Copies of this chain bind each other. A is one copy, B any other.
Amino acid sequence: MKKQILFWSMMVWTLSVGLPSFAQTVEDFEPSEVNQPGRIYPQVNSERRVRVQISAPEAKKVQLDLGGVKYDLVKDEKGVWIGESAPQQEGFHYYQLNVDGASVPDPSTIYFYGAGRWGSGIEIPAHDADFYALKDIPHGLLSEMNYYSDLTKTWRRCFIYTPAEYNDNKEKRYPVLYLQHGSFEDETGWGRQGKANLILDNLIAARKAVPMLVVMDNGYATKSGEKSPSGASIFEEVLMNEVIPMIDIKFRTLSNRENRAIAGLSMGANQTMRIAMNHPDNFAYYGGFSGTSNYPSIEPLDATIFLDGKFKSGKAVNAQFKVFFLGLGTAEPHPFPGVVKAFRQMLDKQGIKYTYYESPDTAHEWLTWRRALNEFAQLIFK
């Protein structure tokens, strides 16, 4: 036992002397909550540093690639590489490992679709994580549905959240929120890293939100024949002509405008704003999280020409929307703050009422969007 203590003391000493980057690191790391079952790495400490570990005995250089920075790992005598990042912001971040030039997922995490790939994720516990925690309350279902699109001539998939009571009340009909992901993400985002189902479960159990369905589709849709993702998007047509009618048939929905909301994050905010403005008979609620349709411009907007003058009549827009919601993280990078500011200035000028929510200390990432959804969902269908 004494020998062991001596061994560990020397190890710690060796590490603190040999690896300067460890010197100032608080040694209270805990496994990340999105690790694969039984994996103790990656870990996060109270400073919000991420420590990763991977066995790569013959590698020359291994790095942690997180938040646009590549951190060198250090190899031990058994060929195991270890190292950590600078402190990160609270919430969920995508990351990869780099092994001798190969950018690969960390084999110890579960995987998420973002940044145009299925890759690793890390969860930095947030001080307000309670609102999306898995609690002992009734839970809804997150259901995967395959459907064939006649417009794109491809198989597509959407996810549908049904609240816990949906299966209990066989006759009751429910309002529906259509909720979209951002660029280089897909229909899985809101249900995995977005935790939309848990956010709704918690709000509904606390009676802070009314029971509702949430439909999460894929925002990428191009016309049949145009294989490139750069083909003109027909997501609006797919949503309006295929998805909404299908959901209204398959589920017990309330299908009037007063019971239909639409929201999205980043690219999805841009898309859903256009859709909401083009279909005033279909949506009475709009939520734009970290994005507006003037993206990427930060120039002042002329309401007479922006979106074909859809915001020209403040009175008409105020009559259309029971809730017009905008959310943004206070740490978002250029151009998002400027884009949203320019859009808000136009709204103010037109006398358009809206709710503005700022997520403290979060960037263009999922904690901003979880919080924005948490706020938005409490306002709609009331």
Interface residues of A (CB under 8 A from B): 36-38, 54-62, 79, 96-97, 99-105, 107, 109-111, 116-119, 134, 136, 139, 141-148, 155, 160, 167-168, 170, 186, 229, 250-251
A148 touches B167 (CB 8 A): no
Cα of A189 to Cα of B374 in the assembled complex, Å: 32
A59 touches B105 (CB 8 A): no
Q: Return chain B residues, CB-CB under 8 Å to A38.
A: 116, 229
A58 touches B61 (CB 8 A): yes
Task: Choose among B101, B104, B143, B147 the residue that contacts A107 (Cβ–Cβ < 8 A).
Answer: B104
Given contacts A58-B100, A102-B55, A104-B99, contact A134 B117 (CB under 8 A): no
Given contacts A136-B148, A170-B170, A251-B167, contact A101 B59 (CB under 8 A): yes
Q: Return chain B residues, CB-CB under 8 Å to A110.
A: 118
Q: Return chain B residues, CB-CB under 8 Å to A143.
A: 141-144
Q: Return chain B residues, CB-CB under 8 Å to A136.
A: 148
Q: Return chain B residues, CB-CB under 8 Å to A96.
A: 107
Nearest-Cβ distance from residue A31 to partner chain B, whole angstroms:
13
Query: Chain B residue with minimal CB distance to A136?
Result: B148
B144 touches A141 (CB 8 A): yes
Q: Return chain B residues, CB-CB under 8 Å to A170.
A: 170
Given contacts A167-B251, A250-B167, contact A101 B58 (CB under 8 A): yes
A54 touches B102 (CB 8 A): yes
Query: Chain B residue with minimal CB distance to A170?
Result: B170
Task: A54-B104, A79-B101, A109-B118 given; name 19 further pairs at CB < 8 Å.
Answer: A36-B117, A38-B229, A56-B100, A56-B101, A58-B61, A59-B59, A60-B60, A96-B107, A99-B100, A99-B102, A104-B107, A105-B105, A107-B119, A134-B146, A136-B148, A142-B143, A143-B144, A167-B251, A170-B170
Q: Return chain B residues, CB-CB under 8 Å to A145.
A: 139, 141
B60 touches A58 (CB 8 A): yes
Query: Chain B residue with minimal CB distance to A59?
Result: B100
B103 touches A107 (CB 8 A): yes
Q: Return chain B residues, CB-CB under 8 Å to A55.
A: 101-103
Closest 3 CB pairs of A and B: A56-B102, A59-B100, A143-B143
Nearest-Cβ distance from residue A249 to partner chain B, whole angstroms:
8
Query: Chain B residue with minimal CB distance to A120?
Result: B105
Interface centre among A55, A99, A100, A102 (most CB of B within 10 A): A102
Nearest-Cβ distance from residue A281 to partner chain B, whole angstroms:
26
Query: Chain B residue with minimal CB distance to A102?
Result: B56
B107 touches A97 (CB 8 A): no
Q: Return chain B residues, CB-CB under 8 Å to A99.
A: 56, 59, 99-100, 102, 104
Interface centre among A56, A116, A143, A160 (most CB of B within 10 A): A143
A104 touches B101 (CB 8 A): no
Nearest-Cβ distance from residue A234 to partner chain B, whole angstroms:
17
Task: Choose among B56, B118, B250, B251 the residue that contacts A36 (Cβ–Cβ < 8 A).
Answer: B118
Cα of A54 to Cα of B102 in the assembled complex, Å: 7
Q: Return chain B residues, CB-CB under 8 Å to A147.
A: 139
Q: Return chain B residues, CB-CB under 8 Å to A119.
A: 107
11 CB contacts below 8 A, A to B, read A54-B102, A58-B60, A58-B101, A60-B100, A79-B101, A99-B99, A104-B105, A104-B107, A109-B118, A144-B144, A167-B251
Cα of A38 to Cα of B184 in the assembled complex, Å: 12
Q: Return chain B residues, CB-CB under 8 Å to A160.
A: 141
Cα of A56 to Cα of B62 in the assembled complex, Å: 12
